Structure 1
């Protein structure tokens, strides 16, 4: 089944993790894919792997902190395949050493994350939308985060930047829906990308598992398949939404795991 056959997709941050999953799945389902990444060698390797699997893909360098680089990636997509009908704004940065609580955070880090995590979504959309209008419509998908929906001890700038992405998604959807352009977001919880596996201690993963409703962590394909759905015409009546893909981590009363543990201890006495 070719769920996105005939579509042309630009995936930012597509060389690894969630972006790579989305790019590979869309290519498998018939889309022509441009993989844009700061890691250009990784992007080229990803594109070659897609082509070996019978898909169509190309790579382009992207520095999501620079307006001209974002425009160049959109222009490359149109030059390569004649149009752009799917944009997956997936680039995002975080820094646990500088993005602290509100009193102690590095203000330069605040500016950097707002620029890359939020402004890059604005700019990617700005440059892609005129081409989508010419094509008769399109789908923009933005990577938000569950950090947009809950407070935390650290990563104040990251959470604020992703909350801005959630609302910017609504604005784009409202402003360009009559042009046949849909805009939706996906908000991952903890996803076991290579970066997460390599940097998160087992004890931290166990903490997340304790509060998940499901008995396992998410994988990159869990987000990739959500992006594929939002890129496809299967979601043609969905716009302005941010789908939370987080294993039920945030759905229950936060005291529930501790209460369950208390109840088990009481029964064992």
Structure 2
């Protein structure tokens, strides 16, 4: 039996990157998957590819800033497959030209990111939970970020909203655990999605690698496999937790990388 066989999953932001990986892996492990994304053409393309390969998948347009669109995606999933037992709240983003330090941040951008990064998680869960209660339980998985645990020179709203996702995850887990609804989050570090590869210069990627405990950066499937685990019954006694998947980037004293270089130089 496959790991998530007979489960019905809604993946938001599922047309690319982490969402694409999660939707693909969930389908290949037996789930019926709805791919919801603003990029509806990309979502349809992925769904069609999965169906051609023998899996069950559908696509729907999603505007994560619109409550009605989120509710429609949930209802579409239930109409298509009869229930909803896995929700991956994966939509999120930032704009580093506007999401600046506290004094200079664009306040409209603050409001936009609260709506997209945090409120969308609340609303997706709000609309999905009644269906999970009817199904006898389910698993909600939220994409947080290591930015929710560590500060930055900019991305003030991004960090604050992702910290909010971590705490909201605990609230959902506490409030609906007795209904056999689990809620966990994943906090990725730098993940080499196509968007990251296309927009982050190599010298900046090298800085991340330098400060990782592991000698490489993450790939989308590193997160996708964790989503499958949290969606499956393998994690049935796990709730309210945030998995930090970040290559050991944040676990050590930040001087370690440079002091290792210094120590090596002293041995010469």
Q: TM-score, normalised by structure 1?
A: 0.99
Could you tell me how far 1:261 is from its partner in structure 2? 1.1
Instruction: Quote the Cα distance in structure 2 between the aligned partners of 1:142 and 1:53.
Output: 27
Could you tell me how far 1:179 is from its partner in structure 2? 0.2
SS at match of 1:128: helix
Instruction: Quote the Cα distance in structure 2 between the aligned partners of 1:93 and 1:191.
Output: 14
- Counterpart of 1:150 in structure 2 is 150
RMSD: 0.6
- Counterpart of 2:242 in structure 1 is 242
Could you tell me how far 1:137 is from its partner in structure 2? 0.2
SS at match of 1:75: helix
Instruction: Quote the Cα distance in structure 1 between the aligned partners of 2:54 and 2:153.
Output: 46
Could you tell me how far 1:173 is from its partner in structure 2? 0.1
Q: How many residues align?
A: 268
Aligned ranges for residues 5-24 of structure 1 at < 5 Å? 5-24=5-24
- Counterpart of 1:177 in structure 2 is 177
Could you tell me how far 1:267 is from its partner in structure 2? 1.7
Instruction: Quote the Cα distance in structure 2 between the aligned partners of 1:143 and 1:125.
Output: 13
Instruction: Quote the Cα distance in structure 1 between the aligned partners of 2:201 and 2:101.
Output: 22
Runs (4+) off by over 4 Å: none
- Counterpart of 2:266 in structure 1 is 266
Q: Are residues 1:136 and 2:136 paired?
A: yes
- Counterpart of 1:97 in structure 2 is 97
SS at match of 2:267: helix
- Counterpart of 1:60 in structure 2 is 60
- Counterpart of 1:33 in structure 2 is 33
* Consecutive unaligned residues in structure 2, runs of 5 or more: none
Instruction: Quote the Cα distance in structure 2 between the aligned partners of 1:151 and 1:27.
Output: 36
Could you tell me how far 1:19 is from its partner in structure 2? 0.3
Instruction: Quote the Cα distance in structure 1 between the aligned partners of 2:229 and 2:84.
Output: 17
Instruction: Quote the Cα distance in structure 1 between the aligned partners of 2:90 and 2:110.
Output: 19
Q: TM-score, normalised by structure 2?
A: 0.99
* Consecutive unaligned residues in structure 1, runs of 5 or more: none
Q: Deviations over 1:213-245 (max 9, x none)?
A: 001110000000000000000000000000000
